[in-house]
Amino acid sequence: MNHYTISALVANKSGVLTRVSALFARRGYNIDSLSVCATEDPAFSRMTIVLNGDEYILSQMMKQMDKLIDVKKIKRVEHEAVTRELLLVKVKTDAKTRSQLFELSQIFRANIVDVSPDALIMELTGKPVKLDGFVNMLMPYGIMELARTGVTAISRGNACIKDEADYKEKI
């Protein structure tokens, strides 16, 4: 099984996220990561979906999503795309381990956003594999809480999902 990333330009209105996620649920496919936000055009939102499966599952889900009226454009995000995810993690700390955690945060280029006598919160942005590595390094210290945003992706160069000729037809 492989991870595939799909980027979709959808109508920015209520119920669209529900319809897309229900489409996956009805077919028994799990969404590994989902990120949605309005675009520079307030009429549209951009969805980034990561799913686990094979080429057949990917093609079926893209075809099914394309049938939804509110999905204006959909495409597979290629490996050359810029992908990022945000992690916030709260770790147990004391006087002995605080300097070790500060050093670890510098190695991974994480920002420490909150410090208390018995815990600190770190923020890290990057590819999911980098975040996984950071979490693994923090495990021995005792992770109290962890939150991840899910992958957001955008194509490199002048390739854009928002191409007037492609999605105006579906409006």
On the question of pLDDT at 164 being above 80, the answer is: no
The neighbouring-strand residues paired with 5 are 50
What are the CA-CA distances from residue 40 to residues 11, 16, 130, 157 (Å)? 13, 18, 29, 18
pLDDT tens string 6-63: 999 999 999 999 999 999 999 888 899 999 999 899 999 999 999 988 999 899 999 9
CA angle (102 as vertex; 99, 108 as ends), nearest 5: 145
Tokens of 91: 């770790």
On the question of pLDDT at 165 being above 60, the answer is: no
pTM for the predicted model, two decimal places: 0.81
> What is the rounded CA–CA span in Å between residue 85 and residue 103?
22
On the question of pLDDT at 166 being above 60, the answer is: no
Strand, coil or helix: what is 149?
A: coil
On the question of pLDDT at 169 being above 60, the answer is: no
